[in-house]
A = this chain, B = another copy of it.
Amino acid sequence: MRIAIDAMGTDHCPAPDVEGAVLAAREFGDPIVLVGDEARIRAELARHSASALPITVAHAAEQVTMEDKPSQVGKGKPDSSMHVGMNLVRDGQADAFVTAGNTGAALSIATLFSLKRIEGVKRPAITAVIRIAGQSVVFVDVGANADARPEWMAQFAIMGRIYAKYALGLSNPRVALLSNGEEEGKGNQLIHDSTDLLKAMDLNYVGNVEPKDLLGGGVDVVVADGFVGNVFIKTLESSTRMLTSLIRQELMGSTLTKIGAVLARSAFERVRRQIDPFEIGGAPLLGVNGVVIIAHGRSNAFAIKNAVRQARLAVDGGLIDAIREGVASHDTAVRVAVEQQSAGDGA
- Give the nearest-CB partner of A238 in chain B: B212
Given the interface contacts A133-B246, A262-B260, does A178 sit within 8 Å of B236 by beta carbon? no
* Cross-chain contact B238 with A253 (CB below 8 angstroms): no
Instruction: Determine whether A259 belongs to the interface, using a CB cutoff of 8 Å to chain B.
Output: yes
Q: In the complex this chain forms, how many copies of it are found?
A: 2
* Cross-chain contact A231 with B234 (CB below 8 angstroms): no
* Count, chain A residues at interface, CB 8 A: 62
Question: Hey, what's the 0/1 contact readout for A165-182 against B, CB within 8 Å counting as 1?
Answer: 000000000000011110
* A244 CB contacts on chain B under 8 angstroms: 243
* Cross-chain contact B266 with A256 (CB below 8 angstroms): yes
A247 to B270, alpha carbons, bound, how many Å? 9
* Cross-chain contact B211 with A238 (CB below 8 angstroms): yes
Instruction: Determine whether A113 belongs to the interface, using a CB cutoff of 8 Å to chain B.
Output: no
Given the interface contacts A227-B188, A227-B228, A260-B261, does A243 sit within 8 Å of B275 by beta carbon? yes
Instruction: Determine whether A194 belongs to the interface, using a CB cutoff of 8 Å to chain B.
Output: no
* Cross-chain contact B263 with A256 (CB below 8 angstroms): yes
* A132 CB contacts on chain B under 8 angstroms: 242
- Give the nearest-CB partner of A270 in chain B: B250
* Interface of A (DSSP majority class): helix
Instruction: Determine whether A189 belongs to the interface, using a CB cutoff of 8 Å to chain B.
Output: yes
Shortest Cβ gap from A16 to chain B (Å): 21
- Give the nearest-CB partner of A181 in chain B: B230
- Give the nearest-CB partner of A189 in chain B: B147
* A266 CB contacts on chain B under 8 angstroms: 253-254, 256-257
Checking B181, B189, B232, B246 against A274 with a beta-carbon cut-off of 8 angstroms, the contacting residue is: B246
Residues of A at the B interface (CB closer than 8 Å) are: 69, 71, 132-133, 143, 146-147, 178-181, 185-189, 191, 210-212, 215-216, 225-228, 230-232, 234-244, 246-247, 250-251, 253-254, 256-257, 259-268, 270-271, 274-275
